Structure 1
């Protein structure tokens, strides 16, 4: 049974540039109360990046998007008033996940890098000595920030991380790859989730009907890869299970504001619809 989720359209200090018909939001205040958490799927043109914030301050960034979206990433972090980043969690070696890590270090203080051993070996650029490196392992449980825990479900041979974010009784499943056995294992666990981050940018060889029926997500998020088209069969399966699908690169950044046992969905339309 799907739970009710409040949907909000957040319209804050917006200035329109008639030359390119894009909305430029200078600053966003999510008005987080004590112990409230915001998880934002950033609207990068290419690649994946997810921002975690608390009212008490501090930010965690999961992946950094593609270098093709470098300025967009910096603009979005500044728009959400990010000053320092306590942790960066890289979950895949592909450039669409890691492309802006070095750029990030030029703009923000980053204290810690969470990374699997497989991915660590594949990074081309050296990691600065001032950044603490924490190796992520299969089946490990991590505290990303107060009240936000990550359970590592699987790390592939290539280093792709599938993990579950937990905020109290609410769960977000972040699929790292399309793998039939992995989906079957998660489905057989009996766990349900509120949110699914679809694996491999919506490619058609994953996100099976059986998997979706078992985890029963309320909403799904699909990021964009310049060389991968979202599969119509995946979208059909999501539709058949009454799962609302959000595309940040089309509709703007998507923020989930968690409080107690509910969350609101907030969209920020920062670009033309693509």
Structure 2
């Protein structure tokens, strides 16, 4: 009950700047302190995009969502007062992950991008020459910003990336595709996580009961794809594991404000519930 009260107060404070209903929220100040990082799962109608912010290091974007959600992406970045994006990490060649990359360059001066060779092949010649490309590989360790580390766990044949995002003692597992063999490998590592980004928009037979029991996530996030329906069996297993499921496209952007050994969850409803 105490935790719930803290989250409700946080949401209320952040929304004080709104002039009327949900859709009128124009800007959000997360009041980030030193060595505090915000991870926001953006509420795009179609596609996946995750925003990382810190007081010292600005912003990094992981995926850009579908081009059908271009204005939503730009509006959310403005809402969170993002002035500069220097780094972009792309984890899948599908349009729902990369569709706004070229559009993003009209608004932000991206200097560096991280992607697998499979994802780059899908882009062909569409990456401007001035952007520094870093090819990511399995078992590689990356530092996207201070206090934000990435461990590449798997890259599929098509270039889809599964990785662990670590912030202090908090681990966020970003599953790239439905892969039961990979789930078994992660489960056998004995590593628990706070947050699970569900693979492939909640499709298929992923997120097995054994996998969920092993990683024991407190919350899960499912983005939306226009051609993929969330599997009822996946939702059933998440519910059975007592994992809180968040759908940004339904409830609004979901922000984790993380500092060392704790985090707060903040939801910002920016449009009508879908």
TM-score (norm 1): 0.94
On the 8 A contact 2:88/2:110 being kept in 1, the answer is yes
Cross-structure match for 2:156:
156
Cross-structure match for 2:271:
271
Tell me the matched-pair count: 267
Q: Secondary structure at the match of 1:74?
A: helix
Does residue 246 in structure 1 map to residue 246 in structure 2? yes
Residue 149 of structure 1: how far off its partner (Å): 0.1
Cα separation, 2, equivalents of 1:12 and 1:225: 32
Cross-structure match for 1:67:
67
Does residue 14 in structure 1 map to residue 18 in structure 2? yes
Indicate the RMSD between aligned Cα atoms, in angstroms. Answer: 1.3
Does residue 121 in structure 1 map to residue 121 in structure 2? yes
**Superposition map of 1:72-111 within 5 A:** 72-111=72-111
Residue 55 of structure 1: how far off its partner (Å): 1.2
Cα separation, 1, equivalents of 2:74 and 2:238: 32
Provide Cα deviations, 1:192-247, integer angstroms capped at 9, x if missing partner. 00000000101132110010000000000000001111111111111111100000
Residue 24 of structure 1: how far off its partner (Å): 2.4
Cα separation, 2, equivalents of 1:261 and 1:130: 38
Cross-structure match for 1:35:
35
Cα separation, 1, equivalents of 2:125 and 2:43: 25
Q: Secondary structure at the match of 2:35?
A: coil
Residue 16 of structure 1: how far off its partner (Å): 3.9
Q: Which runs of 5+ in 1 are unaligned?
A: none
Provide Cα deviations, 1:96-120, integer angstroms capped at 9, x if missing partner. 0000000000001111010111111
Cross-structure match for 2:47:
47
Cross-structure match for 1:182:
182
Cα separation, 2, equivalents of 1:125 and 1:31: 40
Cross-structure match for 1:202:
202
List 4+ stretches of structure 1 deviating above 3 A.
none
Decide whether aligned partners of structure 1 residues 99 and 125 sit closer, same or farther in structure 2, where only a CA change above 3 A counts: farther
Cross-structure match for 2:139:
139
Residue 125 of structure 1: how far off its partner (Å): 4.9
Provide Cα deviations, 1:147-170, integer angstroms capped at 9, x if missing partner. 000000000000000000011211
On the 8 A contact 1:143/1:150 being kept in 2, the answer is yes
On the 8 A contact 1:178/1:200 being kept in 2, the answer is yes
TM-score (norm 2): 0.94
